[in-house]
Structure 1
């Protein structure tokens, strides 16, 4: 990491954002965009790139980036400077914010960014992101979850249905509510759905007991460095199981219940220890269902409903970590 100018003046942080191309995002709900707006307000130098531009030359990581400025204005939300080829160790912070799927390309990016560990703060920590697939990591807290099965085996799913009745089936590495199905105990489509999953997803699937109170909301709770930061209750649209806002769910403000505070307290130390600075957990009727560590959303929805500025909390934590590292 380069040092401040000899005059003693504090130089702006250099921040690179690894993301899906900024031209494709929906700024009304994109948490990466919220983090970029806050970074710009603080006078940081912002750079944008997409993951395929990373290049590892032995121990060195190079990338073609664009200086970027952002504006909270639909269809006019960014402008680029001239592209530059940079040594990524010159960056103070890299935000790893591209959306899943959590596939081999995603994993490869974590291996490349891991090379920056001695010079640059990568958020979230790429080793922990790689080792914490969201629908598997959560099973470390099985006592906080609804009954859950991870499998590809038909007989195991049949046994689970016999015990729990209505279930939810979803791909292990899915995201954004895609391919999430409720299967009732007498559902005649079950066999066809099993066949569809078999030819579509090679990895195991997540099978969970259906929670009827999902109709009242699936709460997204954000934690920053292991501490509760804000929450939003996502209510499914009429006729839909899924509460994800990209699937038509609506955002409602929400306070934490005693059970939800217990969940945050249980998860916080493990998240902090693993360098998972911005995490979104999903809770339905007091049941922890997912721990989202790749590119969790919710920052903008929380602030629009009168909640705290979670992006500012994130940057406060990162500034402190950088100061401690330099010290």
Structure 2
């Protein structure tokens, strides 16, 4: 297959842990052709198809110079067997516009994973609203009074921006309510921006689990991201420790409820965040943790993904 990865700049990859790199490495091992681009290099013009400035790359196996790439060329997205949208969050206006360009490419015959419309329809914080039976007490609002009432009811709460990633902008406010007003003003910008507020789940001490769902089915192991020291956040980007574990019965129950729905909507890969028994987020833009799970368990997560990608492309062709 000829694969186009739309991602962040290659020089920014930390290949020892990067999931997109793990996908590329497995695809390369199987003999698939790798091409890369960035969202700002996608364009459309009337009378033509959606195209991008791309580079064909070859993996070298050398960690210090891990790829070779010739000069850029222009290519139609519809000419690739699969286009993989792997741009990291934030889901900002430019990301939103990129999904529209990718959806136009689909109308021209491109096969895009994850499906652009599904990326737009599943913002990573808000997607959980559709599954209230799987989540803990949660509030989404701009109003400071709503937040105060939620805190009065639940006492110990987490506040976070809807466009955050990697633990950015997450605050915990305990029963004393210390700094709740200031934190609310910081996050909602005096009512201009919406905030998500959730009851604090003490099970976070056991880890914020990333459950990967590929082709509608869960990977047998999750990565529990465990907060360190006095930190409340388990995100690896904030110093959390990643510990791979077999899925619990509850993890499998959650995956069984979400997997078929997400697959039917064109989400080949999703990363469901679970604390205790509760889903906290559904990540669809650029889910990670492939390499950490494989290194600790031997489970070939990238292999499972490329298996699913090959099957999905074959289905599209059929």
TM-score (norm 1): 0.92
In the alignment, which of 162, 173, 191 is matched to residue 172 of structure 1?
162
Asked whether the equivalents of residues 171 and 201 of structure 1 are also in contact (C-alpha less than 8 Å), the reply is no
Contact persistence 1:138–1:289 (CA under 8 A): yes
The equivalent of 2:3 in structure 1 is: 15
Q: Retained in 2: the 8 A contact 1:145–1:289?
A: yes
1:24 maps to 2:12:
yes
Match of 1:241 among 232, 242, 249: 232
Alpha-carbon deviation of 1:169? 0.4
1:100 corresponds in structure 2 to: 89
- Residues 68, 80 of structure 1: 8 Å contact kept: yes
Q: 2:309 aligns with which of 296, 299, 318?
A: 318
Asked whether the 8 Å contact 2:185–2:191 carries over to 1, the reply is no
The unaligned stretches of length 5 or more in structure 2 are: none
Output the aligned Cα RMSD. Answer: 1.6
Q: Secondary structure at the match of 1:176?
A: coil
2 CA distance for matches of 1:64 and 1:27? 23
- After TM superposition, the structure 1 = structure 2 runs for residues 192-271 of structure 1, keeping only pairs within 5 Å, are 192-199=182-189, 202-229=192-219, 230-271=221-262
* Pairs aligned (count): 315
Q: How far off is 1:159 after superposition? A: 0.8
2:295 is aligned with 1:304: yes
- Name the residue aligned to 1:56: 44
Q: Is the 8 A contact 2:144 2:191 kept in 1?
A: no
Q: Unaligned 5+ residue runs, structure 1?
A: 1-12
Q: CA–CA distance in 1 between the matches of 2:173 and 2:310?
A: 47
Distance 1:287 1:212 in 2: 11
CA contact (8 A) 1:31 1:300 kept: yes
Task: State the shift of 1:57 in Å.
Answer: 1.5
Once residues 64 and 201 of structure 1 are traced to their aligned partners in structure 2, the CA distance between those partners, rounded to angstroms, is: 41
Q: Which residue of 1 aligns with 2:272?
A: 281
Runs ≥4 in structure 1, deviation > 6 angstroms? Answer: none
Stretch deviating more after TM superposition (90-99 or 67-76): 67-76
Segment of structure 1 superposing worse, 100-109 or 313-322? 313-322
Q: Which moved more, 1:274-283 or 1:235-244?
A: 235-244
* Aligned with residue 88 of structure 1, among 51, 58, 77: 77
Residue 34 of structure 1 is matched in structure 2 by 22
Q: Distance between the aligned counterparts of 1:40 and 1:110, measured in 2?
A: 26
Q: Structure 1: how far apart are the matches of 2:226 and 2:191?
A: 28
Distance 1:101 1:200, change over 3 A: farther
Structure 1 residue 321, shift from structure 2 partner: 2.1
Give the secondary structure class of the aligned counterpart of 1:223.
strand
Q: Would you say the 8 A contact 1:225–1:275 is kept in 2?
A: no
Partner of 2:148: 158
Q: For residue 72 of structure 1, report the CA deviation from its aligned partner.
A: 5.4
- The 1:18–1:202 alpha-carbon spacing in structure 2 relative to 1, beyond 3 Å, is farther
Deviation at 1:200, TM superposition (A): 9.0
TM-score by length of 2: 0.95
Q: How many Å separate the matches in 2 of 1:200 and 1:57?
A: 41
CA contact (8 A) 1:89 1:120 kept: yes
Q: Does 1:69 align with 2:61?
A: no
CA deviation string 1:23-55 (max 9, x = no partner): 012222211111111111111111111110100
Asked if the contact 1:37–1:71 (Cα under 8 Å) also holds between the matched residues in 2, the reply is: no
More off after superposition, 27-36 vs 316-325:
316-325
Local SS of the residue matching 1:169: strand
Q: Could you tell me how far apart the structure 2 residues matched to 1:83 and 1:201 are?
A: 45
Structure 1 residues 207 and 307: CA distance shift in structure 2, 3 A: farther
CA distance in 1, matches of 2:286, 2:298: 20
SS of residue matched to 1:117 = helix
Moved more, 180-189 or 132-141: 180-189
70-79 vs 163-172, which deviates more? Answer: 70-79
Query: 1:256 Cα deviation (Å)?
Result: 1.5
